Every structure is written in C-alpha cells, then in structure tokens.
Amino acid sequence: GRQGGRSVPGTDFEPVAPNSRDAVTVPEGYEQQVVIRWGDPVVPGAPAFDVNGQTAAAQAKQFGYNNDFVGLIPQDGSGRRNFLVVNHEYTTETEMFPEGSYDEANPTEEQVRIAWAAHGLSVVQADRTRDGGLEVKPSRYNRRITLDTEFEVRGPVAGSDLLKTSADPTGTIVHGTQNNCAGGVTPWGTVLSGEENFHQYFAHGERVTDPVQAERLDRYGLAGGETTRKWERFDKRWDISQEPNEVHRFGWVVEIDPNDPNAKPIKHTALGRFKHEAANVKIARDGRVVVYSGDDERFDYIYKFVSNGRYKPGRSAHARRHNMALLDEGTLYVAKFTGNSPAEEIDGSGTLPSDGEFDGTGEWIALASGDKSFVDGFTAEEVYVFTRLAADKVGATKMDRPEDIEPNPVTGRIYAALTNNSDRGAAGKAGADEPNPRNGNKNGHVLEWDEDGTETKFRWRLLLVCGDPDAADTYFGGFDKSQVSPISCPDNVAFDGYGNLWISTDGNALGSNDGLFSVPVTGPNRGQVKQFLTVPVGAETCGPVVRDDLVLVAVQHPGEGGEPGSSWPDGGHARPAIVAVRKSDGGRIGA
Ligand code: FEO
Ligand code: CA
Ligand code: CA
Ligand code: CA
C-alpha cells in the first residue's frame, strides 16, 4: 500500500485505540462536553428530568430519546449563534423506563404517550461559549416536534386517495414523524430528515387477503401481527386493518425550517417512499437541486431527485420558501452500478480484481416526474408511494444497506456508506458483484462517484472495504494497511472544511465500541482511516458535525441490549446525548 507522508490537515491527531469503555474517548489534547441529553429542557416550562416520574406532558417539552442526526446551522457569519436540530429516531421502552416499571406485554397509555412525545425532532438555540464549547440557550426558536405535530404533505401525491384516512380525508395533513434516522442541512438553512424504519410501528391483526395490497405490505416489511410497542391499542391509526392508508403517510423525507418556530413541517412526496436513511443536497452547476437518499435495507437501492427549478441563493424567508418548493417538482431516479472487471474476478471474497479497483460505470434510471410515470404498470402516484416495487421493476442494483449519502463540498464527489449485508451471497439471495464485492458482508464499505448531479451516467469506485486491516478482504483506498485504524459498519458521513471524509459507525462487528473516523479522500493519504473518538458500550455514533474547531456526535442508545449496560453520561440511568469535542488549546481540529 501507499505510504503517506505527514498527516494531512484536519486529520493530524493521535488515533484513539479500539476499546470497550463506558465512556466517550477522545484523542490526547482534546476535551469533551455533553451539550444536551434525553430529558433536558427544550421549550419554556419544561420540568426537570425525573426518570422515575416521567410524563408525556414533560417529555413533549424535553429533549427526546435516541438522538441520531445532528444539524448545526449557523445564524450568523461567525457561527457563534446556531440552531441545533436533532432527530429522535426511536424508543427502547425497556431501557427508557426504570427497571421493572414497563410491562412489554401491557404498556400503559401514559407510557405509550411518553414514547410518542420522545420521537420526532428537537430544535434548540446553541451558542458557542467563550472557551470554544457549545451551550443550549432558552430561545423563542426552541421547539419540539413529536408524533402530535401537524405536517403538511407536499409534492405529487399530496391529496392522493392513497394518503386519505378517516382522520384526514384531504390526504394532506399528517400527525407527526417517526424513526427519523439521519438527514442533511440544506444550502438554504433547513433540515431534511429521513423516516427510516417506519414499518415497525404498524400492526395488522387480520391478514390482508388482497394480493396487490399484500405484496406492497410485504415489500415494506409489514409482516403483520402486533407491534412490539403496542401503540395500535391506543390509536387505531397504527393498525393497518383499521386504517389501511396511514402507513402510506410515513417513509418520506421531511423538512423542518428552524428559522420559523411556527412553520408547519413538510413531507416531500416527490423524493419517494422507502426506508430513507437520510437526504443530502447538492446544487448542480445549472442551479438545479439534487437530493441523494439511500434505502437502508439489505439489497435495496440508492436514489436521487433532480428538481425542475433552480436554486435561489440566500437565507431570506423568500429564498427559503422558493427553495423548499423546488423539492416538490422534479424527477426521481434510482441507481444502477456496473463493474468493469470480469465477473469471475469478483468471487465474493473481497480480494481486489486484477485492475486494482472495485470500480465501473453507473446509470440513473428515471422512475417518475410529476404526474408522469416511466415504469410499466405503475401510475406516477404508485411510483412515489410504492417506490421500492417500481425500482425492482427497472433493474436497479441491489446494495448492501445504503445509509448516509453526501456530496463532498470541496471536490463535488458523492460518498455513500453501505453498512453491511450478512445475507449477500446466501441461498436464494443476490451474490457479490463489483459494487458489493463481499459475500456475508459483516463490515460494510464506502462507495464514491463522480457527477455534477444532473447527468444520468457516471463513474464510481469503492473508497474503503471496511474491517480488520490485517484481513485480506479489506481495502483502504490503496493506503498502507499497517497504518490505519480498523473500521466496521459505516453509517453516517460528513466532511470537514478541507474535504476529508468523516465516518461514524453503528454495530462494529470487530468486537469493540463504535466510533468516529476521519479519512482523506485525495492525495497520497487517500484511505488513511484514523479513529477520532469512541462512544460508550452499546452505543452507536451518529450525526457527526465537523467544524474547523468543533466536532459534534450523537451518542445513541448507550448500553442497548447489553449486560452490564451503560451508566453514561452521569453515572446513573443511561441517557442518549449530544457530545461536543474541541481541542484543549482552542485550535483547529486535526491541525
Ligand atoms: Fe437508523 Fe440506517 O440507520
Ligand atoms: Ca474494476
Ligand atoms: Ca443511521
Ligand atoms: Ca444506524
């Protein structure tokens, strides 16, 4: 492998060693601080957190559970004042409620209502402190979005019969958002957030007999029976047998405008309905807005949306309204990746083919644009609501769980995390191909491709095939594998101001805790993965934000599912939280 010279700017720090500590561990010379944790006050009148006396009314005013995406949006040129926007992906009631107080077979209505209020998003004012930290402030912008908040449905299926319910005969107003995983900050200062594993909230007691409806439910993982959380007992909208269309009102990309605390959040139907991990924007050279999004499921797809209209620069309310409306009219595409090496050289072992790269060409296949469908047997409405089935039909490439996808603001290249796929190559499943070159893929990989955004052809290659650098089935961009940190299960991606890629992980299959990693993507150090931090036992690392002098991560589900569990961050009941890391001398990160 290539030997790097000195560490490149942004990545010059002593890597953190893999560990299993119940702590956030940062490099020598760095300091950490908890910015906000589950239960901390968000809006005026929020009571102090009391894990033994939690109520739905309190939770609706407090920071929600299981923080995932983090957006830090500057309100001024200096970045001193900011909006901090955070997703609360899901609840794990057995860990959230004190031991012995939650009966999985019979949750109380108040416990269910607490969970509804613990989902959604939080918006808080977060200002830099004199010593370079980040502090949450009381502010008129502070806001909780929960499963009770009204959303406006926009785009081509707003008002469609497929979205009408007994509570909303217009098919345009949805209460709430759930399973918001990752997301993106738009160039116009709003946040896009992906509704990911929405299927797990819906029961259907009586088996659906209509074959068309049954196929649609199956393809979205709606297997039937009761749900784990039993919400269907307290609101019939969670029961598909009673409200067949409510499930069509989740699985979208939503948009939150933190600049206006009274703005109704939006569900953007033009971006399709699937298990959206996230959504990130690139402005093409001609001004059209391109949004990338992955469908996080084994053997599912990578999508992009290209707007018809053109981006208007600036952060005025007028520009924001204009740009938000761009996401309602455009074309939805799905990706097909073709390898350039002989098929027999891709044997599922992860060994590099003879041309030295996992690489090839790609094509974007149009699915629908406005009310026009490009898929045989599907109306445009059906393409948007049953996007997975439409994409199956056109021969899109089945990927190893597409997670976060984001354009590099320095080079313009696009990066996608493919977290893992233990079923690749299993009996009856798709085997390895050049873009997904390992069977039984436990550790995931990172894909990059070159496009301005609006073209339909592109070139791609793998940047990383993750795992133990000592193992033959890993690849670190051609860099010397004796000089890199082990990395497994890439999930969220971000970039620093130099254009280095930062990757957070979920589900480290190498046996130690998850973490955050930096990796240069150009020059002689391309592929030099270095671990910047580790999170507590049982946690995943989410929402990385990398500013010149500050790193933020979301510590999600500390202690989940494990013994002895976690008591992070305060030594008591474990609480998901946002952590800020800065250099002790106040200097630039990694420099
Ligand atoms: Fe919620 Fe795909 O991670
Ligand atoms: Ca090749
Ligand atoms: Ca994720
Ligand atoms: Ca995850």
Task: Residue 399: name the closest of 423, 373, 367 by CA.
Answer: 423
531 Cα to the center of ligand 2, angstroms: 28
294 Cα to the center of ligand 1, angstroms: 10
How far apart, in Å, do the first and last CA atoms of the chain sit? 25
pLDDT digit string, tens, across residues 442-498: 999 999 999 999 999 999 999 999 999 999 999 999 999 999 999 999 999 999 999
Q: Helix, strand or coil for residue 542?
A: strand
Asked if residue 278 has pLDDT above 90, the reply is: yes
Contact 474, 466 (CB under 8 A): yes
Give the mean pLDDT of 241-250. 96
pLDDT digit string, tens, across residues 283-298: 999 999 999 999 999 9
Asked if residue 58 has pLDDT above 90, the reply is: yes
Q: Which residues pair with 88 in a beta bridge?
A: 67, 120
211 Cα to the center of ligand 3, angstroms: 32
Ligand 1 atom nearest to CA at 296: 2
Other beta carbons within 10 Å of 343:
12
The pLDDT, as a whole number, for residue 103 is 98
Distance CA 502, CA 492 (A): 8
Distance CA 382, CA 57 (A): 38
User: In 221-329, at which residue ranges do the beta strands (DSSP E only) sit?
Assistant: 253-256, 266-268, 280-283, 288-294, 298-300, 302-310
The pLDDT, as a whole number, for residue 281 is 98
The pLDDT, as a whole number, for residue 2 is 86
Compute the residue count for the chain. 591
Contact 194, 177 (CB under 8 A): no
Distance CA 488, CA 444 (A): 6
How does residue 418 score in pLDDT terms, banded at 50, 70 and 90?
A: very high
Asked if residue 562 has pLDDT above 90, the reply is: no
pLDDT digit string, tens, across residues 91-108: 999 999 999 999 999 999
Mean pLDDT, the chain, rounded, equals: 97
The pLDDT, as a whole number, for residue 162 is 98
Give the mean pLDDT of 165-173. 98
Lowest mean pLDDT segment, chosen from 221-230, 253-262, 269-278 = 221-230
Task: Residue 148: name the closest of 64, 220, 233, 240 by CA.
Answer: 64
H helix runs in 306-398, sequence order: 317-326, 380-385, 387-393
User: In 204-260, at which residue ranges do the beta strands (DSSP E only) sit?
Assistant: 253-256
- Check whether the bond before 258 is cis (ω within 30° of 0): no
Ligand 1 atom nearest to CA at 89: 1
pLDDT digit string, tens, across residues 523-533: 999 999 999 99
Ligand 1 atom nearest to CA at 506: 3
Q: What percent of the chain has pLDDT over 90?
A: 96
How does residue 376 score in pLDDT terms, banded at 50, 70 and 90?
A: very high
The pLDDT, as a whole number, for residue 315 is 87
Chain centroid to Cα 531, Å, comes to: 20
The DSSP-derived string for 439-455 is TTBSS-EEEEEE--SS-
Distance CA 13, CA 8 (A): 10
Question: How much is the ipTM here?
Answer: 0.94
The pLDDT, as a whole number, for residue 1 is 83
Asked if residue 207 has pLDDT above 80, the reply is: no
Lowest mean pLDDT segment, chosen from 209-218, 267-276, 533-542, 578-587 = 209-218
User: In 89-156, at which residue ranges do the beta strands (DSSP E only) sit?
Assistant: 120-128, 134-137, 143-145, 150-154
Question: What are the structural domains of the chain?
Answer: 30-196+251-583 (2.120.10.30)
The pLDDT, as a whole number, for residue 7 is 85
Burial class (CB in 10 A: 0-12, 13-18, 19+), 29: exposed
pLDDT digit string, tens, across residues 564-575: 799 999 999 999
- Ligand 1 site, CB within 6 A: 89, 181, 196, 277, 296, 403, 491
